[in-house]
């Protein structure tokens, strides 16, 4: 019978039909002559009623089963239906699980959650994180493709780091030394200058930083954007605002169940306030007597500023602009009126930096000088630098750290929860 019948999804069951359901045993309860098996598939949970010869059916929780039965209407379940079981078949048995995965809240520590990913993912709230992450990444790509951007793929094995050498993972590449890319920065600029004009990439980047905080990952997904023929870096910030708005709207539209589960209200993003880094530092000083590092904000400063911006502008986001030259990479465009600062920005979200962006230098001579000022040997970056000898248009871009975005979006307690298999200083497994 089951061979001829197609599997039905739990969310699609309607009364009176006979269905084949497949999924995991969430729970089983025995009450004398009747048993209740809660079956979970990717779309929901179905109460399956076992009577007569099926009453008392023995099965370990989290086993995989196939249930054949008749859907009947009921007011006793959330779905408004339950299934009267005609046949149960064990597809794959489970051993006793090491922790309870079917409580309302998953009560395990972070380490166990990550060590037992297959099991922690079974929890619908944990699964919801990755459904939403998938949608955010897709919406990012979709918006940009609709706006004439080309999706690019650039190498992660590189001969030079994009930031000038620090914090890179080294590897043996045949007879050569190579590194894992910290960012696709050089490559996206080269493809913009190659005539594609507008490009984006969704790919991992690598930072060999020894940080072991709740907001750092050593491998993460960078949502990278670069576009040519901009008038100024305000255009880049406007694009990022529009992209994020679109991403949030898509999640709002397609992840209703997941947002409910995680109790997330998505704010409407209209305009994101902007503060220069000097203004931001002054606010921190005046409001919280908080001193900042020269030309920058530290993580405590970011947090306080997030609070301030929420209270003052009712915004989860704030752009911090015009960072001094010393704190930004060598390819960052200096400000025309005040060349000691740059046309650069960070985007803070709920008090955490999730983006760096800027207009980039497109003039060959200016770029070479900027490399030299940073003490970098231009010869090591020849193929990148040569790009600027053959007609590079004015351009800029930004990158969003996807896991940080998800972490803050869903109010998680650690960025690692936004990565299925996070990599940090000590974690390499699973």
Which residues are catalytic, by number? Answer: 207, 209, 215-216, 353, 356, 404
- Count the site residues for a second copy by CB under 8 A: 98
Binding status of residue 262 toward a second copy by CB under 8 A: no
* Residue among 83 and 152 whose Cβ is closer to a second copy: 152
For residue 403, say whether it is annotated as part of any ligand binding site: yes
CB of 324 to a second copy, least distance (A): 26
**Angle in degrees, CA 320, 321, 325, rounded to 5:** 125
* Residue among 216 and 346 whose Cβ is closer to a second copy: 216
Contacts of 259 (CB under 8 A, 6+ apart): 132, 251, 252, 265, 266
Distance of alpha carbon 77 from alpha carbon 66, whole angstroms: 20
For residue 128, say whether it is annotated as part of any ligand binding site: no
Interface positions, 29-48, toward a second copy (CB under 8 A): 40-42
Among 36, 130, 234, 313, binds a second copy (CB under 8 A): 130
* Backbone phi, psi, residue 390, to 5°: -125, 45
CB of 29 to a second copy, least distance (A): 18
Adjacent-strand bridge partners of 69: 19, 85
8-state DSSP, 192: I
220 touches 211 (CB < 8 A): no
DSSP string across 196-213: I-EEEEEEEEE------S
Structure tokens, 220: 């993460």
Binding status of residue 190 toward a second copy by CB under 8 A: yes
CB of 145 to a second copy, least distance (A): 6
CB of 355 to a second copy, least distance (A): 18
For residue 402, say whether it is annotated as part of any ligand binding site: yes
Three-state helix/strand/coil letters over 370-385: HHHHCCCCHHHHHHHH
Interface positions, 270-309, toward a second copy (CB under 8 A): none
Structure tokens, 208: 């060999």
For residue 401, say whether it is annotated as part of any ligand binding site: yes
Binding status of residue 221 toward a second copy by CB under 8 A: yes
Q: How do strand 317-321 and strand 274-276 relate by DSSP bridges?
A: parallel
Q: Binding segment for a second copy among 174-182, 239-247, 285-293, 314-322 (CB under 8 A)?
A: 174-182
Interface positions, 57-86, toward a second copy (CB under 8 A): 62-64
Q: Which residues are annotated as a binding site for ATP?
A: 207-209, 215-217, 353, 401-404
Residues of the binding site: 163, 207-209, 215-217, 353, 356, 360, 401-404
């Amino acid at each position: 019978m089951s061979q001829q019948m197609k599997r039905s999804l739990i969310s699609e069951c309607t009364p009176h039909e006979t269905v084949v359901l497949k999924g995991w045993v969430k729970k089983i309860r025995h009450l004398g002559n009747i048993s209740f098996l809660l079956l979970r598939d990717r779309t929901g949970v179905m109460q399956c009623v076992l009577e007569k010869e099926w009453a008392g059916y023995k099965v370990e929780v989290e086993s995989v089963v196939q249930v054949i039965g008749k859907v009947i209407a009921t007011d006793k379940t959330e779905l408004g239906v339950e299934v009267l079981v005609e046949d149960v078949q064990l597809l794959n048995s489970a051993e006793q699980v090491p922790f309870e995965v079917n409580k309302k809240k998953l009560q395990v520590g972070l380490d166990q959650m990550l060590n037992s990913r297959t099991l922690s993912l079974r929890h619908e709230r944990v699964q919801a994180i990755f459904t939403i992450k998938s949608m955010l990444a897709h919406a990012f790509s979709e918006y940009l493709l609709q706006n004439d951007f080309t999706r690019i793929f650039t190498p992660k094995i590189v001969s030079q780091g994009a930031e000038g050498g620090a914090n890179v993972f080294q590897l043996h590449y045949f007879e050569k030394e190579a590194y894992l890319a910290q960012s696709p920065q050089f490559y996206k600029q080269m493809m913009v200058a190659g005539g594609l004009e507008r490009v984006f990439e969704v790919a991992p980047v690598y930072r060999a930083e020894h940080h072991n905080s709740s907001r750092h990952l050593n491998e993460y997904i960078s949502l990278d954007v670069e576009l040519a023929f901009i008038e100024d870096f305000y255009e880049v910030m406007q694009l990022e605002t529009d992209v994020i708005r679109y991403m949030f709207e898509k999640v709002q539209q397609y992840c209703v169940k997941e947002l409910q589960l995680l109790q997330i209200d998505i704010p409407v993003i209209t305009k994101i306030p902007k503060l220069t880094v000097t203004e931001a530092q002054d606010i921190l000083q005046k409001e919280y007597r908080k001193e900042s590092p020269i030309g920058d904000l530290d993580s405590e400063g970011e947090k306080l500023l997030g609070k301030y911006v929420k209270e003052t502008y009712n915004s989860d986001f704030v752009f911090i602009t015009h960072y001094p030259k010393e704190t930004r990479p060598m390819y960052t465009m200096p400000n025309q009126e005040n060349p000691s600062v740059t046309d650069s920005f960070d985007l803070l979200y709920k008090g955490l930096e999730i983006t760096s962006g800027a207009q980039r230098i497109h003039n060959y001579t200016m770029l070479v000088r900027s490399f030299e000022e940073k003490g970098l040997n231009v010869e090591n970056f020849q193929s990148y630098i040569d790009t600027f000898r053959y007609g590079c248009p004015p351009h800029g871009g930004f990158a969003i750290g996807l896991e940080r975005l998800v972490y803050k979006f869903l109010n998680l307690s650690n960025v690692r929860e936004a990565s299925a298999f996070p990599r940090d200083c000590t974690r390499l497994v699973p």
